[in-house]
Structures are given as structure tokens and as C-alpha cells.
Structure 1
């Protein structure tokens, strides 16, 4: 059984014990499901998910406690013991730190409560990649600037804005690439803040529309990685894979050219939707043969 399958079983076990059985989570059972010691499991969980296992469980308890407070007449003392707190006082303190208000305020007021949803472990991606020499081409489109730490929220927002404003459909109609589709282009700026310029573009040969910009991509060799699944999750998972594994090991030098994302024409929410990451590389074998 692969790690992702084991982890999904453990997540389901946690939810079952918190919501249905309302029983404490047994570390020994988790160790058996993980196939390793509980301490080692916690280290792997934290590394893979960016959050500690105990913290995730605590966040889920307090999320569910918020649901109970707003949707039932259970007493605070009963809810506190239900989710494993030694006393209503310790529960109230944890609840306030998480939600920003006391249980009483949450129950009586028209307030927004914080939610940490159940973690979903997707089937492990299998990445196919190839080296491909491509001639130079011209991209046209729109750009936005964002801080590096905001890219996973700002870039999907920018795509949504392009769709709503008609930029998306305009670029599709102007595109002359074969195959068709749109590109995402990412470049780091020179500012101390390390801002990123991200562009949504299409390969096009015609006149440049007013308000649009163009970028010339030179002839280059590309390492092209297929990402299968709905976006933006599939493309974000692809970048994570590249940053954690391929980019630290690949035997090529990075060419002086922006990295690209390519999005095919089709239903971008489909589980089989194809997007790609293009990394410009200097092919050492090709250089030697010149």
C-alpha cells in the first residue's frame, strides 16, 4: 500500500473517531495503519503537509466544536469533554485562540467561525516528462505583479479575473499555437521584495491588441512535464514535485528564458485535464554535438 493510501485511511480514521464514535484517537492504531512508529509518522506527516499531525487534529476538533455550538443545544461543558479537553476552561481558551471569540460569543452572536476542512489526500501523481526542442515564438497577453508568498492565491485570482473580463476568450480566439491553449509565464522581478510577474498569454502572430503586451520566447530546449487533473491543484502539485525533487537533481543547466505553464483547451476541472510545466534547459548533449 502506498503512503498516500495509508495517509487517507488515517485521515478517515480521525474523522470517524471525532464525528461518529466521539472516541479518543489511538496512537497505536495509527502506527499500525502507517506501518511505522507514531513518532516517525508525525515527522513524515508534517513534512508532506506543512502542518503537524497533532495540530491538524486540534484544528479539526475546534472546527467541529464550532459546528456543534451553532447547530445544537449541547452545553459547553459537554462539548469540551466530547473533544477531549480536560475542562471547560481549557476548551474555552483553545476555542478563543482558534476562532477569536469565546464559545458563548460564538453561540450567541452572528459571527464567522474559522474552518479547517478535512484533509483530502489525492492519488499520487505520476509525472511524465520529455526533452523537446522548440523554435522561438511570440506570446501576447496580460500581466500582474504579486509577492512570492501570495502567488498561490493571487495567480488563480488573476486567471479568474481574465475569464470574467473576456481576456481569456479573446486570447483563445487570437491564438495560433499548435496545439492551441494558453500559457502562464512567471518571471521574478529585480525589486528587493522579490515580486513575481505572472502573465496569462497565447501564442499569436497577428497585430498586438491595445492594452496587451508581447514577450518573445527564443528557440530553446525544454523539459516538458505533464500534469493531469483539475487546475490549479494539478499545476501547483507539479511545481511542488519539481521544486522538491526534479529541480534539485536534474542534469541540465537552466537556460536564460522564462519558465512556462501550458493549459490545454478543455474542461480545466476534469480529473484528466492536461496542463504542462515547461522548464528551459541547456541540453549538454546537444551543445557537445555542435
Structure 2
């Protein structure tokens, strides 16, 4: 295994421990993944990425702590211990240095928090796409509205909020899709406003769940792009590819229908996890 692959595996390991397991990192496990001593791995990490491994982990912890403060009712003391700080005081000092405000200030009003995203080591990415004709279907779920430029921060917060509030479980129980999975739906406002309505939904035929809305998707032809890897980086890389190349050059007319993301059931931190981007196109099939 090459160094880039080892580093990406370790980055995925870090995210799994910080977000899913909420456990301290094990230096011995990192060393085994790196296939070298932990000290030597830290030197290689700093050389390749221009930052120390410990600084990267600290930045990710404080980024995730910011998400938790804005999207949950957890107390500061809970969040501080969750991310491995010895006391709320030490956590508050680190948080203020990183975000420029205290945790209490971060929770009040429309305060902007700093984000250090999950690192993506330079690896070769391949995409596979196809045209698929799909019958009309119904989506049900919950939505938020994002002003221009807000989606990069508000959409991840919305996913986190829905997960913690039990919305995912509520939607999954009504899912009648084949195969089953969660959809992310983009609806754009007037060109002058550039607002985006983003929804987390499932295909469902039954009763509308309490607090949810529905969207009827007409029979359409879709350009479906497979994205492999942990999310959100895999789906973000897919959109970047589409915006820089395919959407600029593709010979199809965009149909009058929302753009969709689709997330399969499974461990979304796995390197082979499948997500998809669906672009509606004027039928040529």
C-alpha cells in the first residue's frame, strides 16, 4: 500500500473515532495502519500535509464540537469530555482560540464558526455514470432554506440535526424505495435570489409522517453518477467534478426537476460506500 493510501485510511480511522465511536485515538492502531512507528508516521504526516497530526486532530475536534453546539442541546461539559478535554475550562480556552468566541457565544445568534474539513489525501478518483429512465415517485421528508453561500455549512449541520433528532429513524421506517436509501434534494429559488431549499427525504407511498412535507418527482431521465468513498467528502468531490467538467460540457438539456443525491444504507465512513448524484436531463432514451 502506498503512503497516500495509508494516510487516507488513517484519516478515515480518525473520523470514525471522532464522529461514530467517540473514542480516543489508539496510537498502536494508527501505527499498524501506517505500517511504521507512530513517531515516524507523525513526521511523514507533517511533511506531506504542512501541519502536524495532533494539530489536525485538534482542528477536527473543535470543528465537530462547533457542529454539536449549534445543532444539539448538549451541555458544554458533555461536549468537552466527548472530545477528550480534561475539563470544560480547557475546552473553552481551546474553542475560543480556534473559533474566536466562547462556546456560549457560539450558541447565541447567527455566529459564524470556523470549519477545518476532513482532509482528503490526493488519490485518483474515478466516476461512472449512466442514463436511467425512472418512473414518477414521491419523496417525503424535512427541509431547510439556505441563502447563497450558506449551504456548505448549513447542510452538514442539517444532517447532524436530523440524525440526533431521530428524523432518520422516522424516515427509514416509511421508506418504500427499491433499493432503500436517503435522498438529498436541491430546489433552487429565483435566479435573482440564488436561495436553495435542501431536503432530506425517502421514497414513500404511505401516510405523510408528522412534521414532514412531500415532493412529487415526475417520470424523468437521469444522469446518475456513482460516488465511492466516505461521505461527505465523496459526494462533495462528485459535485466538484460535475461543476468543473460534466455540467459545463454535457450535451443534454437540464430538465425541469430538482437535482438529487442518493445515499445507500450502510457504513457511510467505509472507503467503498456508495452514494450517487442524479442530474435530470431532457430525455434522449
- TM, length-normalised to structure 2: 0.61
* Cα distance in 1 between the residues matched to 2:206 and 2:118: 48
SS at match of 2:267: coil
Q: How does 1:73-84 map to 2 (within 5 A)?
A: none
Counterpart in the other structure of 1:198 = 198
2:227 equivalent to 1:227? yes
Q: How does 1:260-271 map to 2 (within 5 A)?
A: 260-271=260-271
How far does residue 132 in structure 1 lie from its aligned partner after superposition?
Answer: 0.4
Query: More displaced, 141-150 or 131-140?
Result: 141-150
Of 84, 94, 97, the match for 1:112: 97
Alpha carbons of 1:282 and 1:149: their partners in 2 closer, same or farther (altered >3 Å)? same
How far does residue 122 in structure 1 lie from its aligned partner after superposition?
Answer: 3.8
String of CA shifts for 1:44-70, please: whole Å, max 9, x gaps.
xxxxxxxxxxxx96xx59x98xx9xxx
2:133 equivalent to 1:148? no
Q: Which has the larger radius of gyration?
A: 1
Alpha carbons of 1:279 and 1:191: their partners in 2 closer, same or farther (altered >3 Å)? closer
SS at match of 2:160: helix
Counterpart in the other structure of 1:213 = 213
Counterpart in the other structure of 2:174 = 174
2:110 equivalent to 1:125? no
SS at match of 1:253: coil
Q: How does 1:30-179 map to 2 (within 5 A)?
A: 112-113=97-98, 120-179=120-179
Alpha carbons of 1:177 and 1:193: their partners in 2 closer, same or farther (altered >3 Å)? same
Q: How does 1:243-282 map to 2 (within 5 A)?
A: 243-282=243-282
Alpha carbons of 1:121 and 1:212: their partners in 2 closer, same or farther (altered >3 Å)? same
Alpha carbons of 1:232 and 1:169: their partners in 2 closer, same or farther (altered >3 Å)? same
Alpha carbons of 1:189 and 1:270: their partners in 2 closer, same or farther (altered >3 Å)? same
String of CA shifts for 1:181-232, please: whole Å, max 9, x gaps.
0100001113744211000000000011221100000000000000011111
| Aligned residues of 2:220 and 2:283 also touching (Cα < 8 A) | no
SS at match of 1:256: coil
Counterpart in the other structure of 2:241 = 241
Alpha carbons of 1:282 and 1:157: their partners in 2 closer, same or farther (altered >3 Å)? same
Show structure 1 runs of 5+ residues with no match.
Answer: 9-14, 21-29, 31-55, 68-108
Alpha carbons of 1:192 and 1:266: their partners in 2 closer, same or farther (altered >3 Å)? same
How far does residue 16 in structure 1 lie from its aligned partner after superposition?
Answer: 5.2
String of CA shifts for 1:164-188, please: whole Å, max 9, x gaps.
1111111111010000001000011
* Cα distance in 2 between the residues matched to 1:155 and 1:259: 15
Counterpart in the other structure of 1:51 = none
SS at match of 2:185: strand
Alpha carbons of 1:164 and 1:130: their partners in 2 closer, same or farther (altered >3 Å)? same
Show structure 2 runs of 5+ residues with no match.
Answer: 9-41, 59-92, 100-113
Alpha carbons of 1:195 and 1:118: their partners in 2 closer, same or farther (altered >3 Å)? closer
Counterpart in the other structure of 1:187 = 187
Alpha carbons of 1:204 and 1:240: their partners in 2 closer, same or farther (altered >3 Å)? same
